[in-house]
Chains A and B, each alone.
Chain A
Amino acid sequence: DGGITQSPKYLFRKEGQNVTLSCEQNLNHDAMYWYRQDPGQGLRLIYYSQIVNDFQKGDIAEGYSVSREKKESFPLTVTSAQKNPTAFYLCASNRQGGRRELFFGEGSRLTVL
Chain B
Amino acid sequence: AQTVTQSQPEMSVQEAETVTLSCTYDTSESDYYLFWYKQPPSRQMILVIRQEAYKQQNATENRFSVNFQKAAKSFSLKISDSQLGDAAMYFCASYYQGGSEKLVFGKGTKLTVNP
- Which A residues are within 8 Å of any B CB, using their own CB? 31, 33, 35, 40-45, 48, 50, 56, 58, 88, 90, 92, 96, 99-102, 104, 106-107
Contacts and interface: CB of A to CB of B under 8 A. Distances in A.
A50 B101 contact: yes
Contacts of A43: 91, 93, 105
Contact of A48 (B102, B105, B108): B102
Q: B interface, by DSSP: helix, strand, loop or mixed?
A: loop
Task: Give 7 closest A-B pairs by Cβ, nearest first.
Answer: A42-B107, A104-B45, A43-B105, A42-B105, A100-B95, A100-B33, A42-B108
A107 B42 CA distance: 10
A90 B45 contact: yes
Interface string B42-71: 111101001000000000000000000000
Interface of B: 6, 9, 33, 35, 42-45, 47, 50, 91, 93, 95, 100-108
B44 A104 contact: yes
B103 A102 contact: yes
16 contacts: A31-B101, A33-B102, A40-B9, A42-B6, A42-B91, A42-B107, A42-B108, A44-B105, A45-B102, A48-B102, A50-B101, A92-B45, A102-B45, A104-B45, A106-B44, A107-B43
B71 to A, nearest CB: 22
